[in-house]
Structure 1
């Protein structure tokens, strides 16, 4: 994706404001990013207990006067915030599950949703592990023909604050819920759930045992439980589009998950993403497409399985995407 040349000057200036706030207020990078975002949104530099100092306030104001977000489209602002967060990831130790979904994958998911919901003017969309919101905002900014109600759930308050900040800077309306995605959800039933699922074991066995996909011994996989939770959150005929480990169903724990999907819905597609997007074979991810029963939804005549070609092979990649779109039109009916 080509970067709007107007993004870079804003990126440099905001980076300077974050560094000033870190030094003056003894903040870590992300707290300073949140602070500078709040200053931008309120149009006023927040001073508490004498910090930032008057000299710093003067420097900050000079820098904020150089920031121009009005000339940027919403997705350019998303990219700006994404780049600021990525800079923070180089400074702060983060969990692997907190890494942002690459834009290439986000745009693929946006295309899938565009095809599936091509006849829908309104759409409710939930990200079950919204994090900083980058994937959700990518989808919202690339579904221009729909009136989309976007929602996100996450149990990390810092990530959720960054998501809220990004949404306000983009002027994109979303509802964000600070809760464990495996607790009873505060969100209504939705047309689609999309999520780059956190991978690993869920530590609270007592809660996991309430789900059909829990392991009989030891901890259960969080991503399995979240798929089950997502299916229960969908409206009849709704779709779930998930980023999952490529070997999702190649472990003994995958069998209960398949059974549960088949019990209340349909497994429509499992497509391995291009290997070149990942550091090694073990890290490779896939797109899982499931659909809940009801409203004339039905099992595809044949589950779509396959591997995306490498993106550098442009003709092959484009042809594969075309075949995927044709499959969705023929097999994934949403009313």
Structure 2
């Protein structure tokens, strides 16, 4: 079955790639823009509105006619789109914020969420910086399979191209999602959910005026966008609900962390900080961790001990499985 699935992923990617390369050459534009147009053609099976020559329109129609939605499950489609976006980042030399959260990390985040919410009937998620929607849809598919329920998902993204890719991705996967094409820091009217989750962009937010309404804003100069997004996200989580964020491992070791810690006091509990394997990053400064926060209320309390540690190498399957067992025990004995 796995061989068949890998073959299907490759087959779907080849359709996307051939079509995108044709459009890219014909219109002399980026691979990313061509991929966005390809996803629309694949879904609508209509290439007539792209203003291509008759010959190219015919070729494109033939390529995309090889796609039959019923041949694929959602996870296969997600992975095919992921492969195409990864190619776009290489071909177009796209900025770091377009980088996709690796599936290994998404799987770990989904594993933690599954453990916390095992036995629940419903679960709702919000990603305040969803990018291309890969993490959000990966979690949707994983939670749908492990918890045997249909998650309710919402996402926010300001970048035009990334939002279009996210919207196309959820549509082609037949996932119902509430997506907002807005700047999160301008206080989007997003839903209140059980879990906020995000691979947060790292750096400074450029519009100081927009950040003033946040307790985590910097008193001097630009504010860290990842601090603002954590605050926004947890403000949209239910009492006792959780936030899981990919953050710099050194999150609490900067001068700006004072405002973040001040905001957290009495409002959210720091329940865990799990460093990802150092081998995934170019250097120590770039290392990231999974931050686990819980809103106060509904019998939530500060766990003792806080889950701290570093994942072993994902290549060391025995050590990795043992670490997951430790997380299971912590969730069952301490967190709950």
TM-score, structure 1 normalization: 0.95
- How far residue 117 of structure 1 moved from its aligned partner, in angstroms, is 0.9
1:9 is matched with which residue: 11, 26, 33? 11
| Backbone CA RMSD of aligned residues | 1.5
The alpha carbon displacement at 1:175 in A equals 1.1
Q: 2:16–2:39: 8 Å Cα contact kept in structure 1?
A: no
1:321 aligns with 2:324: yes
Correspondence for 1:184 among 169, 187, 203: 187
Instruction: Report what 1:252 is aligned to.
Output: 255
1:97 aligns with 2:100: no
Distance 1:279 1:68, change over 3 A: farther
CA-to-aligned-CA distance 1:139-176 (integer Å, 9 cap, x gap): 00001222211000011111010001111111111111
Q: Deviations over 1:213-239 (max 9, x none)?
A: 122212111101111111111111110
2:23 is aligned, of 9, 21, 24, to: 21
Residues 305 and 334, structure 2, Cα contact 8 Å, conserved in 1: no
Match of 2:270 in 1: 267
Given that residues 299 and 331 in structure 1 are in contact (C-alpha distance below 8 angstroms), is that contact kept between their aligned partners in structure 2?
no
Cα distance in 1 for residues equivalent to 2:26 and 2:97: 31
- Residue 226 of structure 1 pairs with residue 229 of structure 2: yes
Q: CA deviation at 1:62?
A: 1.9
> Conserved in 2, the CA contact under 8 Å of 1:308 and 1:317?
yes
Question: Do the aligned partners of 2:244 and 2:290 also contact (CA within 8 Å) in 1?
Answer: yes
Is the contact made by 2:36 and 2:164 (CA closer than 8 Å) also made in structure 1? yes
**Partner residue, 1:120:** 120
TM superposition shift of 1:209: 2.3
| Partners of 2:123 and 2:12 in 1: CA distance | 33
What is aligned with 2:38? 36
Q: Distance in 2 between matches of 1:147 and 1:122?
A: 7
Q: Give structure 1 stretches of 5+ with no counterpart.
A: none
* C-alpha distance after superposition, 1:102-138 (max 9, x if no partner): 1100000100110111121111100111010000000
1:69-93 CA-to-partner distances (Å, cap 9, x unmatched) read 4222111100000001111111213
Displacement of 1:14 in angstroms is 2.3
Contact 2:88–2:94, Cα closer than 8 Å, also in 1: no
Matched residue SS, 2:297: coil
What SS does structure 1 have at the residue aligned with 2:185? Answer: coil
Corresponding residue for 1:308?
A: 311
Whether 2:79 is the aligned partner of 1:76: answer: no
Q: Residue 88 of structure 1 corresponds to which residue in structure 2? A: 88
In 1, the alpha carbon distance for the partners of 2:180 and 2:254 equals 32
Which structure 2 residue ranges, 5 or more long, are not aligned? none
CA contact (8 A) 1:261 1:290 kept: no
Q: Tell me the TM-score normalized by structure 2.
A: 0.94
Q: Which runs of 4+ in 1 moved over 3 A?
A: none
- Alignment partner, residue 58 of structure 1: 58
Query: Structure 1: how far apart are the matches of 2:244 and 2:12?
Result: 34
**What is aligned with 2:293?**
290
Report how many residues are paired.
331
Alignment deviations for residues 42-88 of structure 1 (CA, whole Å, 9 cap, x no partner): 1221335xx21111112112212223442221111000000011111
